[in-house]
Amino acid sequence: MAYPSRNQPNQTRSRSSVHYLILIAFAAVLVFKVDVLISQSIFAARRRVSTARRFVRPTYHSTSSSITGFTHGTFNRHFILSWGEERAKIQEHGELLTLSLDRKSGSGFESKKEYLFGKIDMQIKLVPGNSAGTVTTYYLSSEGSTHDEIDFEFLGNSTGNPYTLHTNVFSQGKGNREQQFFLWFDPTEDFHTYSFLWNPKCIVLSVDGIPIREFKNMESIGVPYLKDQPMRIYSSLWNADEWATQHGLVKTDWSLAPFTASYRNFSAEACIWSPRTRKSSCDSTDPKANSWLTEELDSKSREKMKKLQQKLMVYNYCEDPWRFPEGPGPECAIKTKNNDKSNTDTDTNTISSSITNSKNNNNNNNNNNIVARKPRRSRRRSRSKGGNKVAQIN
């Protein structure tokens, strides 16, 4: 294409400014169009994401190499493999993710986006067999020294002994809010759903849809709440045999490596944070459209949760005077206020459990591994002396 020569000496000033004007107008139209185009495709993409769950996922009958390039499933869309090189893998067209750990390294992944509030479900199947020394983490975290964080951590165990589900909540850099649980099933046999509900009112951690822990917004009594810092989803599988299993007494058996944990069926309703505009995608939408943003436990499910905690909670920072001689955080006072200490073991049906024999140990067993790398003695078992009791859940 031939461009007009720029060196036309007889070109008048006004003519050249007309040219410039046309150019500017053209550029403006172009920029505007591109903007519209981008926002339209973002909108379309969002709509696709939000309607995707309503459709039955297509099944791929072929495993031939012709579709190996097709890797645009859920995990590809929402996560990146962040460390461990080939130990972290996205498989089955992006619908399955596996992390593995060997003597040399563990592995991990994280979400591409940051979120400011969300209702986030993930199905996880943990390292089977002798998983002693391994820790699988699944958590939300912001960045920086005064970060917010909500944790699920699964501490492995020797064959036949139960995993410990360790939970914690950090607000503005301060954690020390550990609660640990045994599960009412073997988390290595199949996938189970681990969920965060995180909204301006409360945080609820659930397992298979059953709430196990609640952290309310208690700013009114001076407890900082997680509401200003966007967080990413992270997960990792790593070796922590210095402290993880029975105080670090049980080491990782490397002859069994690689250890593998699997993830599938990620789904989330969340407010996506834009680092550029510093706005959340929920700011502009009708709050009523996101009912999870105001969701809370009702008194019935809170009662149910407390019953479950009485049976399965093996450590509670709120009840650890050894660690907190001055008393735990003010949020504990609220939590224990309407604690029903009466015996509630007599109702509901029973779910058979792999942990039946796990609680026979006496109270001085000192298996506490609450503070990572710094085992301490505590009274963690004082409340969960339940012997062979098995979880009872409706």
Ligand X SMILES: *[C@@H]1O[C@H](CO)[C@@H](O)[C@H](O)[C@H]1NC(C)=O
* Chain residues that interact with ligand X, rule: CB under 6 A: 121, 155, 157, 161-162, 164, 244-246, 265, 267, 358, 361, 367
The catalytic position among 85, 95, 143, 149 is 149
At its nearest, how many Å lie between ligand X and the CB of residue 372? 12
Q: How far is the CB of 164 from ligand X (least distance, A)?
A: 4
- Closest separation in Å from C-beta 147 to ligand X: 25
Least separation, in Å, of the C-beta of 61 and ligand X? 18
Asked about 214 being catalytic, the answer comes back as no
Name the residue whose CB lies closest to ligand X. 161
The nearer residue to ligand X, 124 or 293, going by C-beta atoms, is: 124
Nearest-approach distance from CB 371 to ligand X, in angstroms = 13
Q: How far is CA 157 from CA 22, 186, 241, 299, in A?
A: 72, 12, 10, 35
Closest CB 231 distance from ligand X, rounded Å: 20
Q: Which residue, 265 or 281, is less far from ligand X as judged by CB? A: 265
Q: Is 149 a known active-site residue?
A: yes
How many Cβ atoms from other residues are within 10 Å of residue 137's Cβ? Answer: 21
| Cβ neighbours, 10 Å, residue 332 | 18
Task: Considering the complex, state which of residue 274 and residue 358 has its C-beta at the smaller distance from ligand X.
Answer: 358
**SS3 track for the chain:** CCCCCCCCCCCCHHHHHHHHHHHHHHHHHHHHHHHHHHHHHHHHHHHHHHHHCCCCCCCCCCCCHHHCCCCCCHHHHHEEEEECHHHEEEEHHHCEEEEEECCCCCEEEEECCEEEEEEEEEEEECCCCCCCCEEEEEEEECCCCCCCEEEEEEECCCCCCCCEEEEEEEECCECCCCEEECCCCCCCCCCEEEEEEECCCEEEEEECCEEEEEEECCHHHCCCCCCCCCEEEEEEEEECCCCCCHHHCCCCCHHHCCEEEEEEEEEEEEEEEECCCCEECCCCCCHHHCHHHHCCCCHHHHHHHHHHHHHHEEEEHHHCCCCCCCCCCHHHHHHHHCCCCCCCCCCCCECCCCCCCCCCCCHHHCCCCCCCCCCCCCCHHHHCCCCCCCCECC
- 174: β partners: 171
Of 218 and 313, the one with the shorter C-beta distance to ligand X is: 313
Q: Nearest distance from residue 132's CB to ligand X, in Å?
A: 8
Q: How far is the CB of 119 from ligand X (least distance, A)?
A: 9
Nearer to ligand X, 229 or 245 (CB): 245
**What tokens appear for 60 in the block?**
């791929």
Tokens of 355: 């942990």
d(CA 330, CA 61): 56
Catalytic one among 153, 178, 214, 269?
A: 153
Return the number of the residue (45 or 249) whose C-beta is nearest ligand X.
249
Burial of 92 per CB tally in 10 Å (0-12, 13-18, 19+) = middle
Q: Give the residue with the Cβ less far from ligand X, 344 or 367.
A: 367
Q: Which CB atom, from 141 or from 161, has the smaller least distance to ligand X?
A: 161
Give me 59's structure tokens.
């099944």
Question: What residues act catalytically?
Answer: 149, 153
